[in-house]
Structure 1
Amino acid sequence: MQLFRRIDFLGCFLLAGWVGAALIAVSLKTNSTASDGYDWSDPIIIALFATSGVLLVVFLLVELKWAAEPVMPFELLNRRTAVSVAINNFSISMAQFALVSSDLYWIWLTIQIYTIPLFFTVVRQMSSSQAGAHLIPNSIAGMVGSLGCGFVVRHTKKYYWLNFWSGFFGVVGAILIATWNRNSSEWMLWTNLSFTSFAMGSVTTLTIVALIADVGHEHVAIATSLSYVFRTIGQVLGVALSGALAQAILQKELSARISGPDADETIAAIRESSASIRYLPEPLKSIAIASYQKALHAVFLCAVILSVVYLLAGLGIREIDMHKAMIKPTNGEQEEEEDIVGEVSETP
């Protein structure tokens, strides 16, 4: 029972509540059609945002005053490295989840709904199996990034510049993806996403190593909690807001390009089922593909901005002498080398 008392159940529920209420409001607005009638001033939308705000305030009070071991450890946010890691993990998770859900560790493949998979199936008119095949290098790159950086840090005891260059790879990948169009070469579609996945696997491992090295071994649980809470919020927002942005721009583009007595029904059908686009007659098919390309391109550009943010945030991390951070034996016992990387074996 004492173990259960240490778990911040109330904080977890409040965190899910305020994030969920806001995302439901955004989803209702961006996924509505002309017939649905949802607007930002709709009472339901306002009520959901108000609920989200109240739950956020209660969440902050619980975490600051009552939680014994809070899921959001605010006491760490007065440290430079902790703030840098929080911003970095939030931004990189949001950017990667906005692009594609493809990391094996978090089983992102279960929520592939927008952006990269949608680009493959709609803009490039691939089958689901072809689109899935293009994501295989992405998953491998994530694993290689995490494991490879772990081995490098174990042997070099350095992580600052490794984190920077890994993040730089992610920025390059995001920029390359932002250039995709209907005529992009196949080798770009097969390789570009691997840059961002490699960065995700590397940076998330390196930043948690940096955070634990900064706060010390006695605060491993709190440091891990800080990393994961910001990463989880970024993941949820990345999926939800990228979909919301894509749908909002898609609605605008389709409404500008399609007119006539059945325009609303046609637009609703295109938005609800991207698979139906391949069966549309011309010029509707070309209009739908061009509209999707513009909507997804906006998401890709947002991913570039987020990638730059997490790269810059990583510059705020302090490099700790990992040799001094090792656990030291007591009472004359034989010295055993146990570095921080061994405690944080994280394999996407």
Structure 2
Amino acid sequence: MTHQNLTRILPGLLTAVVALAVAFAIHAAVPALPAMTLAVVLGLLAANLPGTAVWTAGRARPGLDFAGKHLMRGGIVLLGLKVSLSDVLGLGWLALLLITAVVVASFAGTYWISRLFRLPADTALLIATGFSICGASAIGAMAAVRRISHRDTVLPVALVTLCGTLAIGVLPLLVHPLRLSTEAFGAWTGASVHDVGQVVATAQTAGPAALALAVVVKLTRVILLAPMVAMAGAEQRIRHRREQGSRAGGPAAGKPPLVPLFVAGFIVMVALRSSGWLSPGWLEAAAGLQDVLLGAALFGLGSAVRIRTLLHTGARGVLAALAAWLLIAVLGLAAALLMVP
């Protein structure tokens, strides 16, 4: 990176770092509020308060866009270090099949709902990916492999954050009416809540047993990010080849990658974590770095959302997201009750 480029993005990166420090401080004071969700909310505030809106839209914008795109990819790579194949396989084949079925059904259902509300195909794809797998991280991965504009990820990230935050408040209230055991609630949370931090915030209300199961179920969904992105990449390559052939009949130039480099890095990190070679200290340090990268990225994405624009163009998106959230909650509950009778 040249000195000129560094000078250009530095104000935005420093802004993201300061905001992230505030998010971590609030999370330390109120653990029920995930730091990643707070990062998005602070980004939204920074983009819409009169005192900071000019800064985030002007001098800080290049660095915030850099964070939203490139730091997000680094965070996705390190996310792989949270996934241990032994923990995933320990759930048993029935649970694995149920979780996979929830992901596939929620992806298809969310995409269909989004299109029913007349959202663009790319937006529907990103919303379906984020809701069914792992929130903003999955949205960033899918946007990269499909070469979807960074600007077009803003609405899906806002919606997945909104609904994930809604789950933190709503799901614990349903434990007693639904007569769920601690383990069933943990499985439900892991199968239906979007972001890892939101899963932790929701499940910990029922105790350590619910939290432990919720995290493993959630990380099983996370591991499905790689095959889903690979399939999307393969479909993009086929489409690209057809378009090139219909234009000139010549060799296709600039083919999109089947699997982006950062997704391959995610797979390598999963293998490394599963090998058991890394000490707890290294895993803890990587988890801290991942939080910093993803938090800065989410602040950058949140700072691009203008509430007026969102209210004007995103009303259908909000309704579609709420419908999809209800669908995934029902699918996740059914799977949880089958996993934990």
Q: TM-score, normalised on structure 1?
A: 0.33
Larger Rg: 1
Structure having the larger proportion of residues in helix: 2
